[in-house]
Amino acid sequence: MSEYQPGLEGVPATKSDISYLDGKQGILTYRGYRIVDLAENSTFEETAYLLLDGELPSTRQLAEFDAQLREHRRVKYNIRDIMKTMPKTGHPMEMLQTAVASLGMFYPNDIPVQIRSPGDESDKYVHGQSIRILARMATIVAMWQQMRIGNDPTQPRNDLSYAANFLYMFHNGVEPDPLVARIMDVSFILHAEHTINASTFAAMITGSTLAMPSYVIAAAIGTLAGPLHGGANEHVIQMLQEIGKPENARPWLDKKLAAKEVIWGMGHREYKVKDPRATLLQKLMMELAESRGNVSPMFETALALEEACEETLAPKGIYANIDYYSGILYREIGIPPDQFTSIFAVARTAGWLAHWRQQVAQNRIFRPTQIYTGYDVRDYTPIPER
């Protein structure tokens, strides 16, 4: 294809069997399994195994995989020392990219990452590193939450699930309510993979150079940090705070649309219906509200704004996406807005690693072309003659 497509929209970049998206019908699958079924029946550990290895695990396989994740939750003290030197006012994604990029220095390796055949030395290395990185991502994010307010990080507990341990560390040793742990678990599942998005593509490009995994994930983290990708749910919270209360939603929306401004959390390049992940998160938000006996004012405002958007934007194929409800849900379980994207990164690491493994198993370095729009060849003009 020689025709220029801004943003590479619609241009196939790879062949993959990891996930599938039908934006017209609102279908998202991981390895053929509907995201709705995984959210209702699976766990993040099982879903991560599915993404990395291609099939749902047996009881024994899941137990072994889970045990490996728990075994590798801790990070070397050197990582903590690096984190201590970072300004507490810095964004958590800046910390996360730096900490993850440094992992390769403390966990060195001389095994090539290009897989020649399934089960070879490189394949075993890639699989092992995937488990180690995935295990440590949640630890690093939770450590920073405590360290930036002056506390020593809480040590991980191997008797807790991935999601429950994350919340336990994040909230300084307070074991989470089972419903809240389940909400976190489902959120991890929903954010784990989403075909060839910007951050996944960044991971694939970096991986295609046969770079070490710490570089691959650091590149993906940097890409996810942008507000047009992973940072949108922070803006949703700011937007809802600006609206204030449900009755303000419609006039606020009319004003923003008249000014042609962005309505954060609304619309998705791929979906022409409501994002199925947004529907699932909205359901979890309702469960949390019912368990607490009240609906938060921000959630009420979000519902009112979505209703107004359905009247004005839905006819144009613009509906709520995953960012619309994820931030509200995180806020309700005590997570500050600047940590939202870091949590997204923790979950999406499973998908990034799955694509990394697939890339290095069928590798060809990415080298796209361009359409040149500059000058024809011209003679150099010396400075005195300019």
- What SS3 string covers 188-206? HHHHCCCCCCHHHHHHHHH
In the predicted model, is pLDDT for residue 372 greater than 60?
Answer: yes
pLDDT digits (tens, 9 = 90+) for 323-341: 899 989 999 999 999 999 9
* CATH fit for domain 232-332, picks 1.10.230.10, 3.30.1490.20, 3.30.470.20, 3.40.190.100: 1.10.230.10
Return the pLDDT at 1.
53
pLDDT digits (tens, 9 = 90+) for 116-171: 898 899 999 999 999 999 999 999 999 999 999 999 999 999 999 999 999 999 99
Asked about 323 being catalytic, the answer comes back as yes
Confidence of residue 2 (pLDDT cuts 50, 70, 90): low
First-to-final CA distance of the chain: 40
What count of other Cβ atoms lies within 10 Å of the Cβ of residue 177?
14
134 by DSSP, 3-state: which?
helix
| Catalytic residue from among 123, 185, 275, 323 | 323
291 by DSSP, 3-state: which?
helix
For 99, residues 6+ apart whose C-beta sits below 8 A from its C-beta are 79, 82, 83, 140, 144
Confidence of residue 107 (pLDDT cuts 50, 70, 90): confident
| Catalytic residue from among 185, 268, 275, 355 | 268
Asked about 72 being catalytic, the answer comes back as no
For 292, residues 6+ apart whose C-beta sits below 8 A from its C-beta are none
pTM of the predicted model, to two decimals? 0.93
Residue 45, Cα to own-chain centre: how many angstroms? 16
Rounded CA gap, 92 and 88, in Å?
A: 9
Residue 127, Cα to own-chain centre: how many angstroms? 20
CATH homologous superfamily for the domain 15-226+338-361? Citrate Synthase, domain 1 (1.10.580.10)
Q: Judge if 15-226+338-361 and 232-332 fold alike in CATH terms.
A: no
Q: Among residues 45, 64, 52, which one has the least CA distance to residue 166? A: 45
Domain range list for the chain? 15-226+338-361, 232-332
Return the pLDDT at 169.
98
pLDDT digits (tens, 9 = 90+) for 38-71: 999 999 999 999 999 999 999 999 999 999 999 9
